[in-house]
Structures are given as C-alpha cells and as structure tokens.
Structure 1
C-alpha cells in the first residue's frame, strides 16, 4: 500500500468510493472494522464495511486494500459477496466509537470522541493510533463542542464500555451527504440503542426522509422512542401519504394523539388519506401535487417543478385547476407534462396547452387498475379526482411499485444474504483477531 498515507482519519472515509483492480466502482465505504485488544494495545484494523447495490454491506479485508486516498479506496483480488455480519469481538468505528464519552488517563477529564486515526505499523498491520476528542460543555443532548485536540490511543479509557445517551453528532456528520435511502439502510443495521440515538440527533426533515425509507417495524420503533411532541413534528414533515401509512399501523389511541398534536392544516390531508383503503388510488396518492391555475404562465409552471425538494415523479407534470389550489382543489381542468412546458414560449398560458384527453383516476380505483392506467399511457403519475371534479391528489409510480412489491421488500433488500462463500483469508484475519482478544 505504498500509495496510501501513513495516517488516515476514519470518519473522513465514510461514503468514499471503493474501486476494484480494473478501476470499476463497486460500492462505498460504510464503516471500518477494528478488533479491540487487551490492555493498552492499540486496536487492529481488520477491514472495511463496503456497501454495494442493492444496499448490501460486504467485508473488505484490510490486507486486500492497495490504495487509501481522500476520495477513493482501491483493492486487489476479489470481494466476497457474502453479507457482512459483525462478530462479538469486532467494533465498528463510525457506528460505535464516534461521539463516545471517554476519560483522559492523565487527569480523568471527560472528553468526547470526534474521530479516530489508523496508522500502518512496521509489521504492515494497520492499527488505531490516535483519537481526536473535544472537551464538551454540558451533558446529554445539551453537550456542545469545546476545544478539539488529538491524543494517543492509550491516553483515553472507556472506549470499550457501553454508554447510555451517547449522542450521534459525529456519526451524522460522517454521513452528511448520504442519500436518505442509504442512510436508512445504515440506520437499519445499527443496534436498537444506537438507532434511537441517531434518530434523536437528526433534525426533523432529515429524520422524516429516513423514516420514509425504513421498513415498517423500524418506523414504528423509532417513532415510539421519540417524545410525543417531536414525533408529531416529524410526521408533519413527512409526505402526507407516508405519514398516513405509518399512522395507519399504530393503535387508534396513539394515532389520534399524534394527529391532535400535529398542526391542523398538516393533519387534515393525513386524516383524509386515512379514510381510504391502502390498495386504492385514494390510499396511494399524495395530497401535495404541483397545482397551478389556468392563468399561470409556462414560466411559472416550470419554476414550480424546478423545486429540488420535489419528488421527480411529481415534478414530471403540473395539474391545472380552478382555485382554490390546495387539495381538494377547485374544478380539475387537466394535466400539462413537463416536456410540453419545455416546448412552449415562457409567456404562454398553461390553459392553452392542457391535456384533457385522459380521464383522471378515481379514489376508489384498485391498485391493479392504477398500475394498468400508468403502464398503458406511459405515465409516472396520474391525477386523482373526486365525483365533483376536484383534484384530491396524485398517484406516483414509486408509490405504486411500493405496494406492488412484497410487503416486506424494504427489509428483504436490507437483510438479503447472498449464498455463503468461504473466504480463507477473511476468515483467518477475523478469527485471529477474536482469538487475540480472548
């Protein structure tokens, strides 16, 4: 590994690309696996947890890594496709050590772990040598960062103990740029204690995005660990259809308590969605499509769909309705697809290019009927209109797929295990580390 630096800070590796010997990217770094050792011996680095598609964590032995750079890791040989399973003797640096409160051996002072550095020893092994810490101000969730400094591994104690209320600021910072679906996969694999700490530390918007990507059991568990007011705030931030799906799985009393705590204008569309069966257009739809009045210009419509926070399927078209523009709207006039918007002068009115040929979906239409409609007309979304001609919402292709796939598809993707493959080098490395710890 001559191309690698002699010291690498592990939190900075989170999310960087991993390349095979041919130069093809195979995945991204999720974590680093180390083996804590008896006494003051520095932990030995065993390898990397690499996430490959579809959302599967694999183990890459450190002995196969040839290059470690700020934006890439390169390995030789092959990558075992067996799903990574953490062993009792192993510790995940990012998931378990960041944000840990430890004690300086010199004076017993409490400090908080910000990062951990590994270095290559003369024996060619990679060892954890340094710990970046800061003096914290306050306790629990009110802790704030103070002076940041780096100490030797043996200058702190407490890294092998279990800490309640550990916090998760450092872990979240390490995966700041991770997409919600990928962060959800990471959170799913955390121990329950750590999963709760991460959920508490995430801001409402980020937590809402992650919850929408998690399996149902994880959603219910995390929501139940939050203070009830915070849970209501997060539900307000979620897309109404996702919030309704989650609330629909809760006991009636808990569901009503959360709906009561939500802002009335946020709770109203969720309550409407809860009145429909799950496998109907009404149960599938979102109540926040892009709605414009008939006198809106093409330029105004394009400005709406340029919103970077908008679901791509929703951004594929605008729905033209008489006021009011909030669902349920005034009379639904038709749809304008974004490709048509791109072909028209910006000053043109959407009323002149609206598509009125397709009959809209009705809220009681079945899942199969909705899927057939979208497939027949090559659409990624469709308007849902009531018997009075008012737009209630829109069904998007992602929600249709979510319901057509097996009920536990998210968990199946996250927990899928490939056929067992014996890797002698990997087994020898990890077994030797476990034996040394004993």
Structure 2
C-alpha cells in the first residue's frame, strides 16, 4: 500500500493500527488537534487509538510512520498506555469539529470532513475542510466543497460558543459500532456534545448505549433528558440495568420515573429494587427464557435464536408450570442450549430436563454466586423463591460487572509506565 500525505479524518475512523513489526495495536477512534486562535490550520497532535481492551490511548503523530487507505502503521518506540484525556487546548476532530455550523462566502454551511496534510517539516495540519452548503430547500442537500481552512468562517468551537452542532457524521460512524464502543466514544466527548448525540438517537439505541456507560455518565445523561424521555429510555433498557441505575438516584427522582414508566415495564424493575444490588435478586434479569413442559425443542430453539437476546441469557432455557412470566409457576428444571441442539426438534423439552442443577436463593451474596458459577461452569443460573417459583436468572456478565473495580469501563488495563518517555506529556 502507498503511504499518503493527505487523508480525510472521517475516513480514518475505525482504521486498524499496526506496530512496526505488523502486530495489531487497535483502531483509530478520533484525531486530536490543537485549538487555533488565529486563522491558521491547526496542528494535528496525534490519534486516539482504542486498544482491544477498549481502553483509549493517545498516540503522538511523531509515532505514526505511515497512513494508508486501509491501515495506520506506528514507528518503533513505546507509547504511554494511560487512558486518553482531552486537554482544554485540544479538540477532537470527529467528536467535536464535524457537523459544526460554519459560513462560506456569507452562506450557511455544515462542516462534513477535514483533511490532515503532512507539511515539509513532517508535521501534520488540518489544512482543508469539506463543507456542504445549506440550500434552504427542505430535504435538499447543497453541493459539497473542499476549501482551505482560512476560507471557512465561524470555526469557534462548541465548548467556547455554546452553539449547537449537528450529529449526522457521528451517527453515521455509530451505525457500524457496537453499543459498548459508542459508549466509550460518548464518554470522551464534552457534556454538551454528548447531549446533542443523545437527542438524535432513538430510545432503543440510546438505551443500549446507556447500559454501557460509566455510572456517573448514566446519571448525568438521565438528568439531562426530560422526565418523559428518561422514562422511555429506562423502559427500553434491560430491567436489571434500569434497576441498577434507578437505585443510584435520589428517592424522589426514582419514584417519579417509575411512575412515568408503563406498568408492565416498571413492575419487574420494582421487584429487582427490593433486593440489594450485591445479591442474586439484585443482579438477576427478570426476563430469562422460560417455556412450559409441553413446548417442543424446536420452539425452545426458536426463542433462543432471538438476536436481541443477550448471549448469556440464551444459553439456558428454564422449564416451569404456567404462568411462564416471572414469578412463574413451579420450577421443573432447565435445558442447556447444547442439549437442545442434540435433541430431535419435535420432542418435548420435558424429556431433556436437567433437574439436578442447584438453584440460587435471591439473597445469595456475591461470594456464593462466584463459587456457584465456578463450580458448575455456567454463564446463567436460575434464581428461585421459597415456593420454588422462578423469579429470574443471574448471568456471569452481570456478576463480573459487580466484581470488577469501580470505573473499569473507562480504565481497561491497569496503568503501567512506558519503557521510554513518550507520552501525552510530550504534546
């Protein structure tokens, strides 16, 4: 591949990053540039690279040896693995600059991309801007022009002016990302920009993202939304995640939002809130896969194939007397997904029951849950009340969320010092 000396920032999003020996490092998530107080092209300081652990680090442009159409290659030397934090004199090109409202020749326009160009001194600058004119006709896009930096007016940045930005470029990138990766991106954005994105997302997609945000970001975003929208997002979340979030709110806010939720959505959340967050009852999902004993293997597999079902929940089907919604009728046993795959589709699940698997009481503490999953090599386990009714299921991912140290979503790997002094301090 041929190295380039000019590349547009939006095309770099998601590009794989490789070390000098060809080893994969991570993927490009943003470009960091210095704020320019004069009408001169800003200097590009480096890239925000997301490691496989989801930690985002800063890679100085001095460490970038080649930018190609399909990859970015780093030169020799070590890079600081501390989590990236943006400084006041910096901007994120994808997260903050794109979609800004600007002016060209006194006409209104939207900034849709920015070109990074290497100078004779081997520094990189934001030299060109791609802008789209506003035509004034509803639903009609104007032509896109590529202009020099100093030909575009109104490039005051969001955190300075408070003016709104569009989010179409960000949303187009989010379409190809998992919710957990979008959450990581939002966490790095200024609050104002995060709110703009939240306003543009539909309730289902926003709920998936909120579930992956750190606790402080969850509460901040929920407080920003109006009560009706916040209740809608809580309804779209998994009940156990919604309960965890509501449990962190002041009592008056929790009660108000629960009252605004639809009764069929709030009831399972209220049941979860009756238990401490560090017990099986507080960790469980109240919506496991449940069938009655007269269901066939084919019917159970059809339920497990639901693409919206978390993988851990789909690993086990619970068989109970009617009703099949939690709290169910009498619990009879469970059928593991692998067993379902080995049985003829027309046979009844009652003939494939595992009746020997121990169940969990709702007040079981974290230590008991940890021993349970380790002893039985499971990713999902049933929670029964005193009358042998299934009230939910604990999954190993929810257990890990509570076992990991606070802030693990932001931190990824533990901090360690670089082998040589190349770090964000050098910017």
**TM-score, normalization by structure 2:** 0.91
Matched, 1:133 2:128: no
Q: Is 1:73–2:72 an aligned residue pair?
A: yes
What is the match of residue 435 of structure 1? none
Aligned partners of 2:407, 2:140: CA distance in 1, in Å? 40
How far residue 410 of structure 1 moved from its aligned partner, in angstroms, is: 3.1
- Within the alignment, does 1:26 sit opposite 2:21 as a pair? no
Q: Which residue of 2 aligns with 1:288?
A: 287
Structure 2 residue 272 is the aligned partner of structure 1 residue 273: yes
Tell me, in whole angstroms, the C-alpha distance in 2 between the residues paired with 1:352 and 1:50.
51
Query: Pick from 157, 170, 175: which aligns with 1:161?
Result: 157
Q: Alignment length, in residue pairs?
A: 421
Q: Residue 144 and residue 240 in structure 1: after superposition, are their counterparts in 2 closer, same or farther (change >3 A)?
A: farther
- Structure 1 pair 417–202 and aligned structure 2 pair: CA distance change class (3 A): farther
Q: 1:316 to 1:89 in 2, by over 3 A?
A: same
Q: 1:149 matched to which residue of 2?
A: 144
Task: Look up the match of 2:113.
Answer: 115
Q: Does 1:246 align with 2:245?
A: yes
Equivalents in 1 of 2:293, 2:169: separation in Å?
A: 49
Distance in 2 separating the partners of 1:259 and 1:269: 11
Report what 1:92 is aligned to: 92
Answer whether contact 2:79 2:418 (CA < 8 A) is retained: no
Where in structure 2 are the equivalents of 1:5-404 lying within 5 Å?
5-83=4-82, 84-104=84-104, 106-107=105-106, 109-136=107-134, 146-152=141-147, 153-162=149-158, 163-404=162-403
| Equivalent-residue separation in structure 1 for 2:424 and 2:407 (angstroms) | 31
Measured in 1, the distance between the counterparts of 2:423 and 2:362 equals 57
Residue-by-residue CA offset, 1:369-389 (whole Å, 9 max, x unaligned): 222222111111111122222
The separation in 1 between residues aligned to 2:32 and 2:411, in whole angstroms, is 24
CA spacing shift, 1:27–1:314, aligned 2, 3 Å = same
Q: How has the CA–CA distance of structure 1 residues 70 and 334 changed in structure 2, closer, same or farther, with 3 Å as cutoff?
A: farther
Q: Which moved more, 1:360-369 or 1:78-87?
A: 78-87
**SS of residue in 2 equivalent to 1:8:** strand
User: What's the TM-score once normalised by structure 1's chain length?
Assistant: 0.89
CA deviation string 1:332-376 (max 9, x = no partner): 111100111111112221110011112321212222222222211
Structure 1, gaps ≥5 residues long: 431-438
Secondary structure of the residue aligned to 1:198 is helix
2:293–2:321 CA contact under 8 A, matched in 1: yes
Residues 10 and 93, structure 1, Cα contact 8 Å, conserved in 2? yes
Q: Is the 8 A contact 2:78 2:418 kept in 1?
A: no
In 1: Cα distance, 2:38 partner to 2:337 partner:
64
Contact 1:50/1:57, CA 8 A, preserved across alignment: yes
Gaps of 5+ in 2: none
Q: Relative to structure 1, is the Cα distance of residues 328 and 424 closer, same or farther in structure 2, using a 3 angstrom cutoff?
A: closer
Does the aligned pair in 2 maintain the 1:3–1:66 contact within 8 Å?
Answer: no
Task: Kindly indicate whether the alpha-carbon contact (under 8 Å) linking 1:14 and 1:175 is maintained by their aligned counterparts in 2.
Answer: no
Is the 2:135–2:142 contact (alpha carbons within 8 Å) kept by the matching residues of 1? no
Specify the SS of the correspondent of 2:311. Answer: coil
SS at match of 1:395: strand
Task: Kindly indicate whether the alpha-carbon contact (under 8 Å) linking 1:363 and 1:385 is maintained by their aligned counterparts in 2.
Answer: yes
